[in-house]
Chain A
Amino acid sequence: MKQTLSYNIHDILKFQINSNTKYGFSGLPNLKFSSFRVESVAKPDIILNIGRFTPSNSNCYVVDHKYYVKNNYFYCHDSNGKASWQVEITGLEQGDTTINFNIARRFQPQPIDLIYVPLFLPQAFLLRIIDYRLSTTGYFLAHAGAVAKDDQAYLLCGRAGCFKTSLCMEFVRRAGFTWLGDDRVIMHQGKVLGFPMNSSMFEFMTRHLPDETQWSRLRLLQFTAGHLLGKHKQTPESKPGSAKLKAILVIARNSGPDGNEKVTLSPIPQSQLEQVADSLAISSKLEDFKGLGSFGINSAPFWHYILAYSFVFPESSIATQEKQPAESLRNALDNIPIYKVSIPPEYSPSTFNQIHQFLSERGG
């Protein structure tokens, strides 16, 4: 079944997803980016086509038997974990970008993956292209969560498993904050622009679960069923907001000796600002390895694609960008208070309480 969905990211980037697949679950392709959904866009910067396509990979350089590269172009037939796919990207560096994606062949299919892999994998590639396009226009797509109140935003940074999502849920549920995103947000000149992904899933979790560790396959089934029956909102009432960056919390989940349940917060001196910026930049790159882990895809396919392209065109802007830490990020952090937050290995509501209390004392 055919479907065209249009999206607009804060008027910075516009994109379109065209799906033409046999996995005809109406509405599901709209999960990840639904917050940015609009009726239509005139000239999309990026188009993602999901479905069969014929690659135009003649006259290419071939890297590692399988990556086809020419100027501004990439194609490969790839497989990892439970999925096997073809992906073609035209306009990789310049001009409008088109991503063609097709699930090619599958091993060990499991029903739930059959629904999600064909949807999330191409959208993960789309996210990387969005990331690259934002960076070329001076915006930085940070791997972090953010919540805001009275036009003041707290940025929550940390690798997976440090309860960014749970803390966002609590800020929204118990302290009246609005959610700007729990996995990515855009940083630009002292401001945080919301980049909420899978917002209906976040709402579902906030409503039904005490914290993210309670998420399970059963919950996913319940959520999917609700989604297919139209129980969840397809598009939120308001567009993602933005707020001034007030403070950054760098969250570290510690293994500690057992029984240590204390949360500690300590300011990070401004002299270490560059290191924090470096960590944030590394965190974004690490998502290539980790972001698809739940689908058994841990070989960082997109990272390979970028490197294969960079190997052939070492002077290209993609290759140069891969090497340089984001300048725009450093500027965005200037003069913003940064706190290191150490939390115990297991999540409990008291973790949030202690963080919230600390921030309130500092005038939050």
Chain B
Amino acid sequence: MNKYYNIHNILAFRIIDNPSIGDKLFNDWDIELRGFESNNLNSVDFVISMGRFKPDNHNCTILDNDYYIKENYLYCRRDSCQHAKWQLEISGLEQGETIVHINPNLLGKMLIPELIINPLIWFKLTGKGYPVVHGSAVSRDSQAYIFAGRGASGKTTIALNLIEKGFKLISEHFVILGKNSVLNFPTPLHIMDFNLAPILRNNMSSNHKKSFRLNRLIHRVTGKRIATKVLPEDILPEPLVDKGKLHSIFILLPGVEFRATRIGKEELINHLVTNQKLETIPFVKYMMEYAYLFPRSEMATYWTRYVETLSHALDTASAFYRVEVPLNYDGETLKKLNQLVED
């Protein structure tokens, strides 16, 4: 497989994959990135190469027994997340041609787009002045509203609810902020039992329903939540809108009762940075290992630059809110949120 991906003509990359026989059963592994798939491109910002590789780890400093680091280069001998395992090598980390070699096990491969490729995209986008925010976004009359928050805070629920009220969906999971604009990051919808809005339930195909029921069963038995991933075009009546003009941002905090407070830009940024850090694990570990040796490098100063670019991008927005919502969404909460957006 040799695929090209293009993110709003800001960033482009290419994935080369030589799947083994076992891997071929899981050819859906790049579903997270499919929204960016494009025709062949002449030049790309980075190349991801999947499969076995021979690391070029001479003259490195060895950290924590597993990390081999030199200037512009990082190799991680082994990393894991539960049963997913992988090896990773990034050359041209900060300058020149960035080439990423990843050798995952089967489970690892399914998680690579979320655990490694997405954070790498965010890192590169921030470098170009486009910070990414973990949240959903909708638009009306080309005005964009962003709902940011941690898991189960209702980002998806509120966005899907607003679609039924005449808004259009920009993004469900992440949004890219540019100067004066909100750009979509077209991931699949992540459907779980707590965000199964009517619009999804009614449009789900039988295959999606089967997979949803299986995931729900796994959650009941093992306690581990697995999202059913559905491409937006397969389930939503209208395609995603690719951009809008930033109007307002809502930080959703599940707690006890509904309470909305207007907040300043600085407080909003503090929420957004922490939110993004929590999404960037385990990639943040690689950043820190590199930062340990090169504390003045781009990797090391990433969060400072993230704050700067955010601050720049938020200049034109009209309002920011911190919205405390009850743990379990009901019609009442959604009504109050709609009201807040309408105001």
Contact = CB atoms under 8 A, between A and B. Distances in A.
A315 interface: yes
B340 interface: no
Given A63-B150, A257-B59, A279-B292, A311 B64 contact: no
B169 interface: no
Contacts, number: 116
B65 A160 contact: yes
Interface string B298-313: 0010000000000000
Contact of A315 (B80, B270, B292, B300): B270
Interface residues of B, number: 44
A159 B150 CA distance: 31
Given A257-B58, A282-B288, A289-B285, A61 B267 contact: no
Contact of B292 (A62, A161, A282): A282
B214 interface: no
Contacts of A279: 291-293, 295
Contacts of B300: 278, 282
Contact of A275 (B82, B271, B296, B327): B296
B289 interface: yes
B289 A319 contact: no
A319 B270 CA distance: 9
A345 B291 CA distance: 21
A130 B324 CA distance: 32
B256 interface: yes
Given A61-B255, A286-B285, A304-B278, A255 B57 contact: yes
Contact of A65 (B152, B253, B270): B152
**Which of the four size classes fits the interface of chain A?**
35 or more
A275 B300 CA distance: 11
B58 A307 contact: no
B285 A65 contact: no
B59 A311 contact: no
B125 to A, nearest CB: 21
A278 B294 CA distance: 9
B134 to A, nearest CB: 11
B267 A286 contact: no
Contacts of B267: 314-315
Contacts of B285: 286, 289, 300
Nearest to A159: B63
B277 A159 contact: no
Interface in B51-100: 57-65, 67-68, 79-82
Contacts of A312: 253
A300 B295 contact: no
B225 A282 contact: no
A348 B342 CA distance: 70
A314 B281 contact: no
B151 interface: yes
Contact of A253 (B62, B254, B327): B62
B333 interface: no
B316 interface: no
B275 interface: yes
Contacts of A79: 223
A254 B60 contact: yes
Contacts of B64: 159-161, 286, 290, 293
Contact of B295 (A275, A285, A289, A308): A275
Contact of B256 (A59, A256, A308, A310): A59
Interface in B30-47: none
Contacts of B275: 311
B292 A311 contact: no
A278 B65 contact: no
B80 A298 contact: yes
Contacts of B288: 282, 285-286, 289
A252 B293 CA distance: 9
Contacts of B79: 298
Interface string B137-154: 000000000000011100
A282 B291 contact: yes
A353 interface: no
A21 interface: no
A22 B181 CA distance: 58
Interface of B: 57-65, 67-68, 79-82, 150-152, 223, 225, 253-256, 267, 270-271, 274-275, 277-278, 281-282, 285, 288-289, 291-293, 295-296, 300, 324, 327
Given A255-B60, A279-B292, 14 more contacts: A62-B152, A63-B254, A159-B292, A253-B62, A255-B57, A255-B59, A282-B292, A286-B64, A286-B288, A298-B80, A299-B282, A310-B270, A312-B253, A319-B270
9 contacts: A60-B255, A64-B151, A64-B152, A161-B63, A162-B63, A255-B57, A286-B289, A304-B278, A307-B277
Interface of A: 59-65, 79-80, 159-162, 252-257, 275, 278-279, 282-283, 285-286, 289-290, 293, 298-300, 303-304, 307-308, 310-312, 314-315, 319, 345
